[in-house]
Structure 1
């Protein structure tokens, strides 16, 4: 079956320019042209477009794009390992989010911070070492207003309080998450959080976990469309 761009655009609720952009960026196979110069899409193209729509919310466009380019090259195993890596990352995020809730519920410091549990102020290097967050990410969070620091009067180095560490730990669980309006709202809530309001912090920690649960379901949906595409292309043994 041959379809016009407008037919697919209506079916998928996309603009024709979005379809062209996906093709230009190599996310779908090249199309043939009609005698009048219009693109001709097939059922195979529809499967690619549907896969993009289904995968992007859970995996992000960068991973989705790389996966579909590998599918076109028939590098199925490489594509699936990319997906698996993102799923493993989501599981790590979920574990961190659950740990944040546990910390707030028990009011005990994170075991990874035990060595500095009695230290009121930490340098950016110490924060980075204890949380495994790059210093560049911590500086970016400060630059965009998600966290704040004080300055050492002797050398001008950044210093972070234990209360700011609570925000950093919450942000850590969301750091690799797929961009979305919900993610932006969560990060803004963390930025505006009263670090001394434990109940509010608990709510944000639970909201973060709920967000990751939602992403997990989005990933499952994306995987189902990827499987359908692979079946259509006869790429599975």
Structure 2
């Protein structure tokens, strides 16, 4: 098997040799053999691992990509696959939410009235946080930003989130993951509530749709590169 230097791997991806060493130290690459002088010796297996890791970063983010690769190198393939599955699950949730908001936008445009939301039950802050997989502190932060305006129970003062509040929270969660600042998200949510102009909202949703498409393609690419690395590793 041909041997490679850290510089060879680094050059291929436009990163530094120190980054390659750091990835190995962090467990994102399998351990390299050393020469008698202590120099690292990499192979095509390491090159495939680096290729897979960087593709996973583009597809799932740095944190998830690191967890996936370290799980593989610790012999926990099922854990790695579970992390990947959660990523695909989140993409599906994003697409479902995006579709729901698009329908709301169409309704606002065609009828100039708020879209009716089914469901009459209300949720606690803990229930909504669990549903969105965020913390209650995040929901309170969104409230301070004017994104959420849940009514309070008389007597207890507890927040209660009805179906419209949950729609607003889903939209905020979607746009937040798309990198939008809180003040812009607040403006978008206010537009839906007031049935006002939807140009900004439509542009934001079109941009996020493009982001979702790019992410899905990146995940397909990462899956292929990771599969290639696993085959080489097992061989």
CA distance in 2, matches of 1:185, 1:92: 18
CA shift, 1:5, in A, is 1.2
Q: Any stretches of 5+ residues in structure 1 without a counterpart?
A: 117-121, 178-182
1:77 aligns with 2:78: yes
Cα-to-partner distance string for 1:21-59 (whole Å, 9 max, x where unaligned):
211211111222233332221111111110011111111
Cα distance change, pair 165–73 in 1 and its aligned pair in 2 (3 A): closer
C-alpha spacing 1:110/1:128, structure 2 compared with 1 (3 Å): farther
CA distance in 2, matches of 1:74, 1:126: 38
Which of 179, 193, 211 pairs up with 1:184? 179
Q: CA RMSD in A?
A: 3.5
Once the two structures are superposed, residues 204-228 of structure 1 have per-residue CA deviations (whole angstroms, 9 ceiling, x without a partner) of: 2232233222211111111011110
Tell me the equivalent position of 1:109: 116
Count of residues in correspondence between the two structures: 220
TM-score, length basis structure 1: 0.74
Larger relative contact order (Cα-Cα within 8 Å, sequence gap ≥ 6): 1
Look up the match of 1:180.
none
Can you list the C-alpha shifts for 1:51-105, whole angstroms capped at 9, x where unaligned?
0111111112222222212222343333223212211221111101111111221
1-structure distance, mates of 2:207, 2:167:
15
Unaligned stretches of 5+ in structure 2? 108-113
Distance 2:87 2:130 in 1: 20
